[in-house]
């Protein structure tokens, strides 16, 4: 009976993808008004280029003058005083150590040509991108309340986001100036409008920032693992530079970049990326730093937010999130296996989980409740003292196993 049900599910899934293939690929017939609207949007998004770079992944990036980048189309940034030599004035951030059995993939961009000084790389947007991205779902729920009442409901539930995370204890009086993690990099299999990601998320109220990796055919047009950022400010949300807000300062690091190296289950060496979001103590800018040396990529200015405009975050999350449209089984998260015995060579993980308090001090995130929207599909193992380093916190996540696909 179980095999028969699984076969029916697989057939339905194939039919769904066949019926929706053209829409996901962007091959939709448009009216003349829609064509004009898309052309106008493309002109707004694709700024004049000083130089154009074609990456080895086949993506095109325009080297845009720092002052003409998309961020400055935001109404609150019209009269900014930012400049291309900006650097964060942060409190000293303690470095998360490398793991002895892990190769670091934090310099994935070094093999690609960078942009000239005074310019920043912005991925060129195509008409097909815009058509596909019309189908990007709304952002995930910002609450950590589970509405699951019984096992039958869990098994029947389909459609929407599912999280497998750990988070800081819920307290409206929390004051976090940022957080960090090291994430292992995977390529879970997704199709159609599905997506699967691992991210660090910082939040207060309806405002949030995310950074990590994701596999998302609707966003990217393929099922490769990409570096991404996302922010939400009230009812506005978007990825990377698709809407104004995030200010790029680095001429060598590409948002949307594809990872050259993906972890393989069972290998002694796993591939990772170091990720930090840290609030500037001088001006409130929320800086994105990557790599062991905490290289600055850019920042979210406080003026684009409401709850986070002049205040600290109250909630931090680390872990995986997956999405599927209604009527379609959920995709794998991480390795696609449940973590059993915590093992960095077998399971997807986030490690070095740290937070920065309102004084800029670095604290090992020891008290981190587990949150699962659906414990039948996905699992989490939390090990606050699972490693030998100064910041030893590991969390392992993944699923579903093949009996719940």
Instruction: Please list the rounded mean pLDDT of every run of 10 residues in the chain (405 residues).
Output: 40 41 51 88 94 91 97 95 91 66 46 85 95 91 63 63 97 95 96 97 96 97 96 93 96 92 92 95 94 92 94 97 94 96 93 93 93 95 88 95 53
The pLDDT assigned to 387 comes to 83
d(CA 16, CA 354): 41
Please check whether residue 224 is in contact with residue 29, taking contact to mean a CB–CB distance below 8 angstroms. Answer: no
Residue 204 within a domain:
yes
Backbone angles phi, psi at 339, to 5 degrees: -70, 135
Q: Which two tokens mark 152?
A: 């039958």
The pLDDT assigned to 317 comes to 98
Residue 126 within a domain:
no
Of 176, 212, 402, 195, give the one whose Cα is nearest residue 288. Answer: 212
Residue 353 within a domain:
yes
Residue 21 within a domain:
no
Residue 141 within a domain:
no
Whole-prediction pTM: 0.88
The pLDDT assigned to 20 comes to 45
Token look-up 């077998």 returns 346
Helical H segments across 277-316, by residue range = none
Backbone angles phi, psi at 17, to 5 degrees: -65, -35
Residue 311 within a domain:
yes
Of 91, 99, 93, give the one whose Cα is nearest residue 392. Answer: 99
Token look-up 């995030």 returns 246
The count of other CB atoms within 10 Å of the CB of residue 370 is 16
CA 300 to chain CA centroid, Å, is 15
CA 342 to chain CA centroid, Å, is 24
Backbone angles phi, psi at 21, to 5 degrees: -60, -50
Number of domains, the chain: 1
The pLDDT assigned to 99 comes to 63
d(CA 402, CA 405): 5
Residue 289 within a domain:
yes
Residue 218 within a domain:
yes
The pLDDT assigned to 269 comes to 86
**Long-range CB contact pairs, 37-42, < 8 A, 24+:** 38/127, 38/130, 38/131, 39/127, 41/130, 42/125, 42/126, 42/127, 42/130
Query: What strands, in cross-sheet order, belong to the sheet with 119-123?
Result: 51-54, 60-65, 119-123
Cβ-proximal residues to 171 (8 Å cutoff; 6+ apart), any chain: 314
User: Where in the sequence is the domain holding 308, given as residue range(s)?
Assistant: 92-113+158-399
């Amino acid at each position: 009976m179980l095999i028969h049900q699984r076969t029916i599910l697989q057939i339905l899934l194939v039919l769904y993808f066949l019926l929706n293939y053209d829409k996901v690929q962007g091959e939709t017939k448009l009216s003349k008004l829609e064509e004009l609207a898309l052309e106008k949007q493309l002109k707004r998004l694709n700024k004049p280029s000083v130089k154009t770079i074609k990456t080895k992944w086949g993506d095109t990036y325009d080297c845009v003058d720092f002052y003409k980048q998309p961020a400055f189309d935001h109404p609150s940034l019209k009269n900014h005083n930012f400049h291309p030599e900006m650097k964060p004035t942060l409190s000293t951030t303690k470095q998360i150590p490398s793991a002895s059995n892990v190769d670091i993939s934090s310099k994935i961009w070094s093999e690609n040509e960078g942009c000239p000084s005074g310019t920043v790389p912005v991925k060129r947007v195509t008409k097909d991108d815009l058509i596909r991205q019309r189908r990007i779902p709304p952002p995930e729920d910002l609450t950590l309340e589970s509405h699951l009442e019984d096992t039958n409901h869990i098994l029947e539930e389909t459609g929407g986001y599912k999280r497998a995370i750990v988070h800081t204890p819920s307290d409206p009086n929390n004051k976090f100036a940022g957080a960090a993690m090291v994430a292992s990099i995977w390529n879970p299999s997704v199709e159609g409008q599905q997506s699967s990601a691992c991210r660090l998320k910082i939040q207060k109220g309806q405002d949030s920032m995310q950074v990590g990796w994701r596999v998302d055919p609707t966003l990217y047009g393929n099922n490769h693992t990409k570096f991404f950022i996302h922010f939400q400010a009230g009812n506005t949300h978007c990825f990377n530079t698709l809407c104004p807000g995030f200010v790029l300062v680095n001429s060598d690091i590409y948002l949307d970049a594809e990872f050259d190296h993906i972890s393989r289950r069972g290998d002694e060496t796993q591939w990772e990326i170091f990720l930090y979001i840290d609030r500037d103590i001088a001006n409130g800018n929320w800086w994105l730093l990557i790599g062991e040396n905490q290289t600055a990529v850019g920042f979210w200015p406080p003026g684009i937010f409401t709850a986070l405009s002049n205040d600290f975050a109250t909630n931090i999350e680390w872990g995986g999130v997956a999405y599927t449209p209604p009527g379609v089984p959920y995709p794998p998260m991480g390795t696609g296996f449940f973590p059993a015995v915590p093992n960095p060579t077998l399971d997807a993980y986030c490690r070095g989980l740290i937070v920065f308090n309102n004084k800029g001090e670095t604290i090992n995130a020891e008290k981190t409740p587990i949150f699962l929207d659906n414990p039948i599909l996905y699992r989490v193992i939390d090990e606050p003292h699972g490693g030998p380093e100064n910041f030893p916190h590991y969390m392992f996540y993944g699923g579903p196993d093949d009996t719940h696909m």
